[in-house]
Amino acid sequence: MANTSQAKKRANQSIVRRDRNFSLRTEFRNVIKKVLKVVAAGNKEAAKAEFINAQSTIDKIARKGIFHKNKAARHKSRLSAKIKAMA
């Protein structure tokens, strides 16, 4: 348990950051699921539109340091490949 005021503040900051990171990770998973759902439905135009939205969300999360930039690039690449394979 935190004894000093500095340690208490750090503990509170840690809790706030954890909650924020948790919600961003959830958002990351949800945008990927949305794209995969549209791809499974077979609608290429809708898949492209969802992918554009997903790209900006994934990039935003990588910029904030929640995920490494290579992980973000890997996910974007795999989603793009699934959309291109729909032809």
What is the structure's pLDDT at 8?
A: 94
| 8 Å CB contact between 57 and 75 | no
Give the class (CATH, top level) of 5-84: mainly alpha
What is the structure's pLDDT at 43?
A: 92
pLDDT at 57 over 90: yes
Domain boundaries, the chain: 5-84
What value does the mean pLDDT take over residues 8-37?
96
What is the structure's pLDDT at 1?
A: 77
What phi-psi label fits residue 43: left (phi over 0), alpha (psi between -120 and 50 degrees) or beta? Answer: beta
Give the CA count within 13 Å in the CB-facing half-sphere of 8.
Answer: 3
d(CA 62, CA 73): 9
Share of the chain above pLDDT 90, in %: 94
Is the entire prediction scored with pTM above 0.75?
yes
pLDDT at 16 over 90: yes
